[in-house]
């Protein structure tokens, strides 16, 4: 017999679970967990666009030169009335996130492929979390070591919800924290990942058994993490993916309090979720090197060699960069102001198009207030032929010599880099890791 479509199976499971809704909170929770597990097991591979706005707050409590407040002191102070941290800077990221079998990998939005590079290395530091689209549901609701307690009913925006608390001990936890000094977006991550226990609260619709919100708190963190507390709140909604409709995050917020009393908050919004139908093999960051070598990934066509090193050229933007909407990960375009070439030939005429990518979009609110937009050039288009472009800019480098950080000083909270804005660059040899 031909098996029924996946969507029909899910509908049958959901109909069975929703029949004769129990009034008993324990039985209701059991059915809700079964429904979540059934949906998660049938969720196809998919991708979403993730836009992340991050805020960084300065020291909240006075310190002496040789001491720091304890986490207990910081928590007590933050619970007092009048807690009002000072916003020091913000930044924004835009990523494509792919989920397969509950695992997440990410790359810059619109990139041609997903690779094995860690998203934490890609974004260059600052607070960021994974698992909202995949593993966190399983670690909370499929975990045999988790314990639950019914808290009663809440009414949120006129909707009646059933609240439950939960706890997951370290022996059953897959929640990991990496040491990170998150007071600035350019802060360096720590050395190791640390598995930690976690707890929280989730809210269910008592009639449909749908998960509406999940809050996860990790507060028993080792000193090596540099963090006192990390709290994640996720709001869920139904989203069509492939032939079915599934429960996916609408927004997640991560609040981190570090041991130096600084704070950060990272708000991620998810959009454009769709089934992933690509044929490329999926590579994960912790896959062994020998497994990656065996994968038959489609080759990236190289249509022309990179430009020779040592060629100076000038660019003019062909589209504005609006700091209200632009994010690290966005593509920027420019054109050559003058022809470039060697003594023997012209390699590209004036007006040839250049594509680059923003890799940092930061707003510093401390004096002198300014925006920092870091850009890496990617390719040059000449007559329909694309060639890789490696160059250093006339602005200070950011994280890599190939990334130029342009600073725009203004006291305003909004700035637009206009069309025609000019920058100067010099070609260099490809880095060793990108040489064929």
Is the per-residue pLDDT at 9 higher than 50?
no
- CATH T-level assignment (fold) for domain 312-434: Lipocalin (2.40.128)
Question: What pLDDT score was predicted for residue 23?
Answer: 67
Q: 20-29, 76-85, 135-144 — which is least confidently predicted?
A: 76-85
Is the per-residue pLDDT at 12 higher than 80?
no
Strands (E), 210-310: 211-218, 227-241, 244-258, 263-275
Cis bond upstream, residue 368 (ω within 30): yes
Average pLDDT over residues 135-151: 90
Average pLDDT over residues 31-38: 90
Residue 362 CA to residue 137 CA, distance in Å, equals 32
Average pLDDT over residues 235-242: 90
Per the CB < 8 A criterion, the answer to whether 254 and 177 are in contact is no
Q: List Cβ neighbours of 140 (8 Å cut-off, separation of 6 or more).
A: 146, 166, 168, 200, 202, 214, 216
Q: 100-104, 195-199, 212-216, 287-291 — which is least confidently predicted?
A: 287-291
Max avg pLDDT among 99-113, 235-249, 378-392: 378-392
Q: 174-178, 282-286, 412-416, 421-425 — which is least confidently predicted?
A: 282-286
Question: What pLDDT score was predicted for residue 195?
Answer: 87
Average pLDDT over residues 163-176: 92
pLDDT digits (tens, 9 = 90+) for 259-276: 888 899 999 999 999 998
Question: What pLDDT score was predicted for residue 278?
Answer: 65
Q: Is the dihedral of CA 174, 180, 183, 187 positive or negative?
A: negative
Question: What pLDDT score was predicted for residue 338?
Answer: 96
Q: Give the CATH number of domain 22-294.
A: 2.50.20
Is the per-residue pLDDT at 226 higher than 50?
yes
Q: By percentage, how much of the chain surpasses pLDDT 90? A: 51
- For the chain, domain boundaries: 22-294, 312-434
Question: What pLDDT score was predicted for residue 415?
Answer: 98
Is the per-residue pLDDT at 418 higher than 60?
yes
Name the residue among 210, 252, 209 with its Cα closest to residue 230.
252
Residue 144 CA to residue 168 CA, distance in Å, equals 9
Residue 42 DSSP one-character state: H
Instruction: Please state the pTM of the whole predicted model.
Output: 0.83
Is the per-residue pLDDT at 17 higher than 90?
no
pLDDT digits (tens, 9 = 90+) for 348-388: 999 999 999 999 999 999 999 999 999 999 999 998 899 99
Residue 151 CA to residue 405 CA, distance in Å, equals 50
pLDDT band at 191 (very low <50, low <70, confident <90, very high): low
Q: List Cβ neighbours of 76 (8 Å cut-off, separation of 6 or more).
A: none
Per-residue buried b or exposed e for 245-273, using 16+ beta carbons within 10 Å of the residue's own CB: ebbbbbebbbbbbbbbbbbbbbbbebeeb
pLDDT digits (tens, 9 = 90+) for 280-336: 433 333 333 344 344 444 444 446 889 999 999 999 999 999 999 999 999 999 999
pLDDT band at 137 (very low <50, low <70, confident <90, very high): confident
Per the CB < 8 A criterion, the answer to whether 257 and 78 are in contact is yes
Helix H or strand E encompassing 141: helix 135-141
Question: What pLDDT score was predicted for residue 78?
Answer: 75
DSSP per residue, 390-411: -EEESS-EESEEEEEEEEEE-S
The reply to whether 22-294 and 312-434 are identical in fold is no
Question: What pLDDT score was predicted for residue 125?
Answer: 81
């Amino acid at each position: 017999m031909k098996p029924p479509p996946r969507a029909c199976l899910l509908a049958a499971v959901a109909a069975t679970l929703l029949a004769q809704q129990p009034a008993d909170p324990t039985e209701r929770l059991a059915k809700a967990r079964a429904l979540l597990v059934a949906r998660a097991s049938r969720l196809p591979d998919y991708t979403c666009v993730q836009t992340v706005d991050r805020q960084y707050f300065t020291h909240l409590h006075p310190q002496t030169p040789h001491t720091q407040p304890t986490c207990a002191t910081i928590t007590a102070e933050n619970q007092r009335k009048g807690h009002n941290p000072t916003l020091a800077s913000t930044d924004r990221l835009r990523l494509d996130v792919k989920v397969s079998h509950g695992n997440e990998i990410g790359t810059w939005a619109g990139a041609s492929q997903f690779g094995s590079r860690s998203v934490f290395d890609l974004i260059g530091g600052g607070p960021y979390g994974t698992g909202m689209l995949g593993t966190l549901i399983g670690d909370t609701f499929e975990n045999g070591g988790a314990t639950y307690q019914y808290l009663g009913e809440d009414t949120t925006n006129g909707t009646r919800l059933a609240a439950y608390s939960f706890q997951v001990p370290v022996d059953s936890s897959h929640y990991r924290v990496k040491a990170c000094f998150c007071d600035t977006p350019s802060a360096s991550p720590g050395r190791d990942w640390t598995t930690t226990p976690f707890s929280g609260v989730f809210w269910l619709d008592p009639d449909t058994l749908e998960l509406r919100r999940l809050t996860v708190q990790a507060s028993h963190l080792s000193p090596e993490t540099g963090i006192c507390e990390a709290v994640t709140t996720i709001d869920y909604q139904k989203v069509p993916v492939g032939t079915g409709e599934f429960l996916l995050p609408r927004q997640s917020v991560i609040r981190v309090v570090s041991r130096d009393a600084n704070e950060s908050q990272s708000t991620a919004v998810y959009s454009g979720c769709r089934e992933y139908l690509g044929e490329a093999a999926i590579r994960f960051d912790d896959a062994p090197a020998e497994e990656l070598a065996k994968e038959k990934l489609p080759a990236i066509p190289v249509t022309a060699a990179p430009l020779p090193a040592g060629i100076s050229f000038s660019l003019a933007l062909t589209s504005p960069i609006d700091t209200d909407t632009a994010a690290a990960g966005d593509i920027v375009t420019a054109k050559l102001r003058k022809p470039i070439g060697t003594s023997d030939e012209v390699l590209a005429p004036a007006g040839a198009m250049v594509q680059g990518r923003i890799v940092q979009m930061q707003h510093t609110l401390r004096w002198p207030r300014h925006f920092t937009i870091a850009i890496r050039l990617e390719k040059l288009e000449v007559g329909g032929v694309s060639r890789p472009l490696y160059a250093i800019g006339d602005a200070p480098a950011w994280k890599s010599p190939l990334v130029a950080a342009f600073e725009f000083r203004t006291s305003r909270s909004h700035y637009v880099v206009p069309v025609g804005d000019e920058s100067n660059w010099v070609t260099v040899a490809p880095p060793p890791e990108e040489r064929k």
